[in-house]
C-alpha cells in the first residue's frame, strides 16, 4: 500500500483565512491519521469582538470608580458583570 506524502499546513494570517482554507481543502492530505496528533491549548485565548454600547455618562463614571476601588480596568469589570448576569439569566433555560 502506497502512503501519500503529507502536505505541510500553511501559516494563516487570521481565523477567517484558516476557516476558508479548511472549507476548501481535504484534511486527509494534511494529517497522518495513523499517528496520534497532540495539541497544546494552554495559551488559547477566547476570540473577542469590539462592540459599541451607549451608556449614560454617570453610569460610566460609577463603573470607573468601582473598577478603581477593585483595582481592575473598568472594561474588564464590565465584562465580568455582563458574564455574571448572563449566566444568572440562563439558569433554568438549559433544560
pLDDT band for position 95 (cuts 50, 70, 90):
low
Residue 1 confidence (pLDDT) above 80: no
Instruction: Report residue 84 as a C-alpha cell.
Output: 455574571
Give residue 94's pLDDT: 61
Exposure string (b/e) for 60-85, b if CB count within 10 Å is 16 or more?
eeebeeebeeeeeebeebbeeeeeee
What tens digit of pLDDT does each residue of 46-80 get?
888 999 999 999 999 999 999 999 999 999 999 99
Q: How confident is the model over 87-93, as a mean pLDDT?
A: 85
Q: Is the dihedral of CA 19, 23, 25, 26 positive or negative?
A: positive
pTM: 0.51
3-state secondary structure of 17: helix
Amino acid at each position: 500500500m502506497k502512503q501519500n506524502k503529507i502536505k505541510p499546513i500553511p501559516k494563516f494570517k487570521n481565523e477567517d483565512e484558516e476557516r476558508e482554507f479548511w472549507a476548501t481543502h481535504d484534511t486527509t492530505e494534511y494529517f497522518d491519521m495513523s499517528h496520534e496528533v497532540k495539541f497544546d491549548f494552554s495559551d488559547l485565548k477566547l476570540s473577542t469582538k469590539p462592540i459599541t454600547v451607549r451608556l449614560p455618562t454617570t453610569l460610566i463614571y460609577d463603573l470607573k470608580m468601582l473598577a478603581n476601588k477593585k483595582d481592575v480596568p473598568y472594561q474588564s469589570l464590565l465584562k465580568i458583570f455582563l458574564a455574571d448576569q448572563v449566566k444568572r439569566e440562563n439558569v433554568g433555560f438549559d433544560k
